[in-house]
Chains A and B, each alone.
Chain A
Amino acid sequence: MDPFSLLWLIPVLPLIGAAINGVFGKHLSKTAIAVIASGAVGLSFLISARAFFAMLSVSELPIIRDYFTWIQSGRFQANFGFMLDHLSGLMILIVTGVGFLIHVYSAGYMAHEEGYYRYFAYLNLFVFFMLTLVLANNYLLMFVGWEGVGLCSYLLIGFWFTRKSAADAGKKAFVVNRVGDFGFVLAIIFIFWTFDRIDFAGVFGRLADGSAFPVEQLGNVGVLTVIGLLLFVGAAGKSAQFPLYVWLPDAMEGPTPVSALIHAATMVTAGVYMVARSAAIYNHAPGALLVIAVVGAFTAIFAASIGLVQTDIKKVLAYSTVSQLGYMFLACGAGAYAAGVFHLMTHAFFKALLFLGAGSVIHGMGGLQDIRKMGGLRHQMPWTYRTFLVGTVAIAGIPPLAGFFSKDAVLWGVWNYATYGKILWTVGVIAAAFTSFYMFRLLILTFYGSPRYTHHDVHHVHESPKSMLIPLVVLAILSIVAGWVGIPPVLGGGNQIEHFLSAEAHETASESAGHSTEELLLMAVSTGAALGGLFLAYLFYVARPSLPAALATKAHSMYSIVLNKYYVDELYDAVIVWPVVRTSREFLWKFVDTIVIDGTVNGVGKLVRGSAGALRRMQSGYVRTYAGWIFLGGVAVLAWFLR
């Protein structure tokens, strides 16, 4: 049997799960709901794995399955069809694999929550849209998935919608994403305008055949650069890049497994996927790539610096996610798409692991999230501690865990980037040191030292149930081994991942040959940065615990700027939110609506009533008055004809 005949089932299974749980969930037991939801994603994973491994032996890629014509209008055609190649194959494995683990984890984590079925219906629906996004064979269908995951993100951030902060956070995510989606829509319009088609194969095929679309050199802004930049606006919204990152930290109002699945492992990486998918366009638009690299690098260091001082366990991880996404864009911007996707994959594992670990901590602490009130948890929660340690080491970039190899691939790609490569590399290494520092700070404050919580805050600290620990262990193992597919040749590996993705990245041969000493040196520097961060965290929070407070008072103004997240939210409030609200209220509401629109409507009514009030006096009820009017009318008609 054709192993790809079931391709359509991969997204449809979670959709069926969502439908069952959404419609009948109220009448099902919690076990049944969890089994249906996890089972749907698990089956999807099995089908994905089968398709993935079958694909490895197929030489004719991509595999395209067009199911039906979705929109046909003149020359415009959009099909409902899926495309499987190495890039989308990797993505569906990540989405269904990590998704399945998080579904299992959620079964335990959400056990005591109201709206259990609603949660799983949303989660399944999210997986459906995410798979549609990555499997779509044209930009418009990708946009459908793109909007769908945004919707599910909104629904899940506001899952506890009775809490105002959660409802607000959901709205904020939705509104900020709208800015990005606007860019994406414009990009699709430009793509159709330029290429007359929107399917990936067609667009990239036309780009490949040479002279029609020359590479737009730096400073030469043509339509391809515009398309690239508009696509990146979309990516920046979805993937929380500066200046559209503000929704992601607030999105932590949602349940923690949601933060792990949507706001760390999968949805927020959709932007990176889209940029990597559009590599053929970006290779023709170096100007757009430079913008992506600079924004990515800035976001990486900017968010990492905010993460240094956060005190909420999930907020630290949220800023870390923004920072790591910046890393992925930095890689894509430098033209190292494979490195970006590699980092996307390892990040999906270790960041999901860290979020789920944080969820386990929050679960055990009965809802407490402030790391200043934790401490010493490694005794009460040994398995959470062990897996969290693995995740921390992995994200810090200490060999031989996954984060080291992917981060190193990113940095090596950036180093070789012709334009400002060395500067961007320096920024990346500093961000890596920040990352290492805040992650070990988080680890130390949470799991080491003596408990700082009182029994008033927390009643009974306990380790989480097995359904939560098993996903943690699996993700921990993946966080260790996932990097080994990308061991660079200089360390004796084959860097399979780069070769694996080279066709999708439309790359020429790797540049890594002949620079082995240089590459080893850079690796040592980045590892040194990671260890430096570790050492500083040890110094600050174990050896000399008085140091952070002393430093905070000494550099008070700088500390408060960072603590307040550079006042970006306040700036947006002042520059965008406040004027919009004021204009809406004072002008649109109190003037346009109340005076102009209401005035017009009421005025017409008053006019009709007034004139009718005067005219109705003619209806006196006296027969002879009426006769008089008729007579006058007759005279008037006669006069008209006899004039």
Chain B
Amino acid sequence: MIPISWYLIVGAVLFLIGVLGFFIKRNIIALLLSVEIMLNAVNLTFVAFSSQHGQISGQIFVFFVLVVAAAEAAVGLALVIAMFRNRESLNVDRSNLLKW
């Protein structure tokens, strides 16, 4: 049996990859993908703990996260299209008008 720490390490590494991707990439689609990676890292952690403790609630949470992630992808991609139509660019650093 694979110990739980392995799952947690994989989850943490995945999460860090997502975070780093979010900070490094400028393409907004890459940012959305990074968010997906982070969410799935969390999902993995949930499932690992669920299995460890023998409780179903962690797995139910994963379903909710998947639903939210799907909705987020739908809205996010719609925004990406709207943004591209306006600016002919997917660079998030060029969308900085909403500030002080």
Interface residue ranges, A against B (CB under 8 Å): 616-617, 619-624, 627-628, 631
Contacts and interface: CB of A to CB of B under 8 A. Distances in A.
A621 B23 contact: no
Nearest to B100: A616
B23 A622 contact: no
Nearest to B24: A624
B52 interface: no
A621 B94 CA distance: 10
A620 B99 contact: yes
Contacts of B100: 616-617, 619
Contact of B99 (A621, A627, A628): A621
Nearest to A623: B92
5 contacts: A619-B99, A621-B96, A622-B96, A623-B31, A627-B22
Contacts of A631: 19
B75 interface: no
Contact of A624 (B22, B97, B99): B22
B42 to A, nearest CB: 12
Contacts of A627: 22-23
Contacts of B93: 622, 624
Interface in B51-100: 92-93, 95-100
Interface in B1-59: 19, 22-23, 31
Q: Which of A619, A621, A631 has the most B CB atoms < 10 Å from its CB?
A: A621
A616 B100 CA distance: 6
A623 B19 CA distance: 13
Interface of B: 19, 22-23, 31, 92-93, 95-100
B61 to A, nearest CB: 18
Contacts of B95: 621, 623
A634 to B, nearest CB: 10
Nearest to B23: A624
A619 B96 CA distance: 10
Contacts of A621: 95-99
Nearest to B92: A623
B12 to A, nearest CB: 12
Contacts of A617: 100
A615 to B, nearest CB: 9
A101 to B, nearest CB: 80
A624 B92 CA distance: 8
Nearest to A620: B99
A518 B98 CA distance: 107
B92 to A, nearest CB: 5
A631 B21 CA distance: 13
A620 B96 contact: yes
B66 to A, nearest CB: 21
Given A621-B99, A622-B96, A624-B22, 13 more contacts: A616-B100, A619-B99, A619-B100, A620-B96, A621-B97, A622-B92, A623-B31, A623-B92, A623-B95, A624-B23, A627-B22, A627-B23, A628-B23
A570 to B, nearest CB: 64
A622 B95 CA distance: 7
A616 B19 CA distance: 25
Contacts of A628: 23
B84 to A, nearest CB: 15
B79 to A, nearest CB: 12
A472 B96 CA distance: 93
Nearest to B22: A627
A126 to B, nearest CB: 66
Nearest to A612: B100
B34 to A, nearest CB: 9
A337 B93 CA distance: 99
Contacts of B98: 621
B50 to A, nearest CB: 21
A638 to B, nearest CB: 12
Nearest to B98: A621
4 tightest A-B CB contacts, nearest first: A621-B99, A621-B96, A616-B100, A619-B100
A227 B64 CA distance: 84
A621 B99 CA distance: 5
A619 B98 CA distance: 8
B94 to A, nearest CB: 10
Contacts of A622: 92-93, 96
A426 B97 CA distance: 97
A624 B26 CA distance: 9
A437 to B, nearest CB: 87
A621 to B, nearest CB: 3
B20 to A, nearest CB: 11
A616 B96 CA distance: 15
B98 to A, nearest CB: 5
A617 B97 CA distance: 13
